[in-house]
Amino acid sequence: MSWKGLIHKYKKFLPVTDKTPIITLQEGNTPLLLSRYLSEKIGLDVYLKYDGANPTGSFKDRGMTMAISKAVEKGVKAVMCASTGNTSASAAAFSARCGLKCIVLIPEGNIALGKLAQAMIHNAQVIAIKGNFDVALNLVKTITDEYPIELVNSLNPFRIEGQKTAPFEICDFLSDAPIFHSIPVGNAGNITAYWKGYKEYKDKKLSTRLPKMLGFQAAKSAPIVDEKIIENPETIATAIRIGNPASWETATAARDESGGLIDKVTDDEILLAYKILAREEGVFVEPASAASVAGILKLNEAGYFKGQKGNIVCTLTGHGLKDPNLAVESIQKPIVIEPDLKTVIKEIGL
Query: Site residues (CB under 6 A) for ligand F0G?
Result: 58, 60, 83-87, 154, 184-190, 239-240, 286, 288-289, 317-318
**What single-letter DSSP state applies at residue 320?**
G
> Residue 34 is inside which H or E element, if any?
strand 32-35
What's the CA gap between 137 and 82, in Å, rounded? 5
Whichever of 176 and 244 has its CB closer to ligand F0G, that residue is: 244
Question: Taking the complex as a whole, how short is the minimal distance between the CB of residue 181 and ligand F0G, in angstroms?
Answer: 13
Residue (176 or 242) nearer to ligand F0G, CB: 242
Nearer residue to ligand F0G within complex by CB, 92 or 288? 288
Q: How far is the CB of 76 from ligand F0G (least distance, A)?
A: 20
In the bound complex, what is the minimum distance in angstroms from residue 163's beta carbon to ligand F0G? Answer: 8
Beta bridge pairs of residue 190: none
What is the torsional sign of CA 220, 223, 228, 234?
A: positive
Q: How far is the CB of 154 from ligand F0G (least distance, A)?
A: 6
Q: Are 37 and 283 in contact (CB under 8 A)?
A: no
Is 114 or 318 the residue whose CB approaches ligand F0G more closely? 318
Rounded (10°) angle between helices 86-98 and 60-74: 40
Residue number with CB closer to ligand F0G (176 or 218): 218
> Cβ closer to ligand F0G: 87 or 95?
87
Q: How far apart are CA 122 and CA 13, in angstroms?
A: 30
Shortest separation between residue 310's beta carbon and ligand F0G, angstroms: 25
Coil/strand/helix, residue 242: coil
44 phi and psi angles, rounded to 5 deg = -125, 160
Minimum gap (Å) between residue 291 Cβ and ligand F0G = 7
- Return the number of the residue (176 or 277) whose C-beta is nearest ligand F0G: 277
Listed in sequence order, the residues at least 6 apart from 57 whose beta carbon sits closer than 8 Å to its beta carbon are: 86, 89, 114, 118, 318, 319, 321, 322
Cβ of residue 345: shortest distance to ligand F0G, in angstroms? 41
| Whether 166 contacts 59, CB under 8 Å | yes
**Cross-strand bridge partners of residue 214:** 182, 261
Question: How would you classify residue 75: left for phi > 0, otherwise alpha for psi between -120 and 50, otherwise beta?
Answer: left
Segment 1-6 long-range contacts (CB within 8 Å, at least 24 positions apart): 3/28, 3/29, 5/65, 6/62, 6/65, 6/162, 6/165
- Minimum CB distance to ligand F0G smaller for 128 or for 206: 128
Task: Compute the least distance from the CB of residue 303 to ligand F0G, in Å.
Answer: 27
